[in-house]
């Protein structure tokens, strides 16, 4: 996904408020050396991109930031929201570099929910973990992990160790963490 951005100077709070008043979003692009580049993200572009992204998949969506004509691949590292309006106040991006691993939260999706034994018996699917934290090279970053819950009965669960993890992806989360359970 492409996003129009412009560089900004570290400014005062009034400058950040002016950016937000213009319907844009203050942001920072971080790289592996720990240096940062303050940016202004076009608010309309980011809103359009959010509508196109599947729910929960923002953390694994690669954005192509257009910074004064230079294309920079990045993922969203953190989003700060307003407490009451939930408007986006600030974005942190992590620059993706070919020879540098990145740590991301990969969303978990489910199949077989309609055919799940435990749900047919009156249970309900309780999603304990919505994402699994992994470390991988940018080109091997999974979009999501899928768990088949078809065979789960009431009070049965699946753990991270039950998910098929690609060989080039390193788990940061504990293998014993419960991801989903069928509750009564």
Q: How far apart are CA 96 and CA 104, in angstroms?
A: 11
User: Could you name the CATH architecture of 102-183?
Assistant: Beta Complex (2.170)
In terms of Cα–Cα distance, which of 156, 147, 148 is closest to 123? 156
Q: How many Cα neighbours within 13 Å face the side chain of 142?
A: 22
The confidence score (pLDDT) of residue 156 equals 95
Domain range list for the chain:
2-95, 102-183
Per-residue pLDDT tens for 102-122? 999 999 999 999 999 999 999
Range in 9-13, 70-74, 87-91, 97-101 the model is least confident about: 9-13
| Fold equal for 2-95 and 102-183 | no
Per-residue pLDDT tens for 136-154? 999 999 999 999 999 999 9
CATH class, range 2-95: mainly beta
The confidence score (pLDDT) of residue 134 equals 94
Mean confidence (pLDDT) of the chain: 91
Q: How far apart are CA 158 and CA 110, in angstroms?
A: 11
Per-residue pLDDT tens for 4-55? 898 987 767 888 888 999 999 999 999 887 788 999 999 999 999 999 999 8
């Amino acid at each position: 996904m492409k996003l129009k951005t412009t560089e900004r100077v570290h400014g005062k709070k009034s400058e950040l408020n002016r950016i937000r008043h213009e319907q844009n979003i203050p942001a920072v692009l971080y790289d592996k050396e720990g240096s940062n580049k303050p940016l202004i993200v076009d608010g309309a572009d980011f809103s359009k991109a959010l509508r196109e992204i599947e729910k929960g998949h923002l953390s694994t969506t690669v954005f192509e930031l257009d910074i004064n004509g230079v294309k920079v691949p990045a993922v969203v590292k953190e989003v700060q929201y307003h407490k009451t309006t939930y408007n986006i106040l600030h974005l942190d991006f992590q620059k993706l570099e070919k020879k540098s691993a990145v740590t991301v939260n990969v969303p978990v999706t489910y199949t077989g929910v309609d055919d799940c034994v435990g749900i047919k018996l009156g249970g309900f699917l309780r999603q304990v973990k919505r994402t699994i934290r992994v470390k991988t090279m940018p080109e091997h970053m999974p979009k999501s992990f899928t768990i088949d819950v078809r065979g789960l009965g009431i009070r049965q669960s699946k753990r991270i160790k039950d998910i098929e993890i690609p060989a080039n992806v390193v788990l940061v989360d504990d293998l014993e963490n419960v991801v989903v359970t069928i509750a009564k």
